[in-house]
């Protein structure tokens, strides 16, 4: 008989997938009257120098972790953010299209940033009801969260008992962690560029283990 019982220490269940959700580095500033490059109808800005430095910091932070796979989205900012880590580990990233950023409708491509800075009434409504669908032609929060959860479960099914780095977007981090915790829709919006959050997926269950870690920045 063991005469001591130590406190519980978390470990993922057998068959679960441990996922590091990394928000991409800071991107190029929007310029009034000029659209970002576009991919599949969505703005696709590259990293600015500060974002490149954040990407290098992420790579340095995680290069000694036992990461088995790296995923990015269809957008170049995630590829660029993942590049230092991928090079350090010798891993070629996979693309998961369902984890692309929320579609901002008529304001995608850069206009959204100006509208947000000016507190456009549609932005105010979106914040109040916590749904991107208040913006003209934009994707609803429910649609975003549905595809984000689908994409993360697809990754988890491919990597049982493994640690996976997934470079995504701020809206994607927010949707995933809202789902994992049952929080309000926008409860986890605002993750910092280059930050690391963590979820563990075991079957249909998603558990939050960390949010917005920026110790490396």
Q: Is position 9 within any domain?
A: no
Compute the distance between CA of residue 206 and CA of residue 195 in angstroms, rounded to an integer.
19
Q: Is position 199 within any domain?
A: yes
Confidence (pLDDT) at 11: 92
Tens of pLDDT, residue by residue over 149-174, are 999 999 999 999 999 999 999 999 99
Q: Measured on CA atoms in the order 157, 161, 168, 91, is the torsion positive or negative? A: negative
Q: Is position 200 within any domain?
A: yes
Q: Which domain holds residue 49?
A: 17-102+139-213
Number of domains observed in the structure of the chain: 1
Predicted confidence band at 192 (pLDDT cuts at 50, 70, 90)? very high
Does position 130 have pLDDT exceeding 80, yes or no? yes
| CATH code for the domain in which residue 196 is found | 3.40.50.1240
* Cβ-contact 33, 88 below 8 angstroms: no
Q: Is position 83 within any domain?
A: yes
Q: Is position 12 within any domain?
A: no
Residue 15, judged by CB atoms within 10 A of its CB (0-12, 13-18, 19+), counts as exposed
Q: Which whole number is the average pLDDT over 21-27?
A: 98
Structure tokens of 180?
């994992």
Confidence (pLDDT) at 1: 72
Compute the distance between CA of residue 197 and CA of residue 207 in angstroms, rounded to an integer.
11
């Amino acid at each position: 008989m063991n005469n001591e019982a130590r406190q519980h220490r978390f470990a993922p269940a057998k068959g679960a997938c441990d996922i590091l959700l990394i928000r991409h580095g800071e991107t190029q500033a929007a310029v009034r009257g000029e659209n970002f490059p576009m991919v599949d109808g969505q703005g696709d800005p590259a990293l600015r120098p500060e974002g490149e430095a954040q990407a290098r910091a992420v790579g340095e932070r995680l290069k000694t972790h036992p990461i088995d796979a790296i995923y990015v989205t269809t957008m170049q900012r995630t590829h660029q953010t993942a590049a230092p880590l991928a090079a350090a580990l010798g891993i070629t990233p996979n693309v998961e299209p369902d984890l692309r950023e929320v579609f901002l409708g008529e304001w995608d491509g850069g206009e959204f940033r100006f509208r947000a800075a000016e507190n456009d009434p549609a932005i105010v409504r979106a914040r109040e009801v916590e749904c991107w669908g208040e913006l003209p032609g934009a994707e609803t929060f429910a649609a975003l969260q549905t595809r984000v959860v689908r994409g993360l479960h697809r990754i988890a099914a491919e990597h049982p008992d493994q640690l996976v780095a997934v470079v995504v977007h701020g809206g994607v981090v927010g949707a995933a962690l809202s789902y994992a915790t049952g929080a309000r829709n926008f409860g986890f919006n605002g993750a910092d560029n280059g930050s690391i959050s963590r979820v563990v997926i075991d079957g249909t269950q998603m558990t939050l283990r960390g949010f917005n870690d920026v110790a490396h920045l």
